[in-house]
Amino acid sequence: MSLALRSPLKMDVIRDRGSLAREVEGGRIENVYRLQVMNTREQPQRVTITVAGDAALGPLELRAGTQPIEIPALTTRAIVVQVRSEPGSVRGPRPIAFKLTALSDGEAEIRPVVEKSRFVVP
């Protein structure tokens, strides 16, 4: 039963500790993350990545290159993404969540994968 219910997509979120947060053009705040995306299927999988966060951060911009992203069969792929927030009055770490969604290929629907992290505002 557990084999039938397991998700063929997995994701780990690793914050770049080398640069906790930085200011970019327009005064926006940027944090960098490395997403380890695992495809345990025997077929390639196309996925999209989105991010949502605490309302105090305002709208978040995800910079992840060209989407959808192709993950080859039975592999793990590291994807570096930048998340940007408008400057505001909040300070410190704020909760965010990355959502990995598989694009339908005519087979059984794959549940989206959601992983939580923190967005640091200096």
Domain with 61, as residue range(s), is 2-121
Number of domains comprising the chain: 1
Pairing outcome for strands 69-71 and 22-23: unpaired
Place of tokens 């993950």: 71
User: What was the pLDDT predicted at 16?
Assistant: 85
28-85: pLDDT as tens digits: 999 999 999 999 999 999 999 999 998 889 999 999 999 999 999 999 999 999 999 9
Q: Could you tell me what percent of the chain has a pLDDT over 90?
A: 72
Please state, in angstroms and rounded to a whole number, the distance separating the CA atoms of residues 99 and 80.
15
Q: Residue 11: is its pLDDT beyond 70?
A: yes
Which residues, at least 6 apart from 48, have a Cβ–Cβ distance to it below 8 Å? 67, 68, 69, 100, 101, 103
End-to-end CA distance of the chain: 46
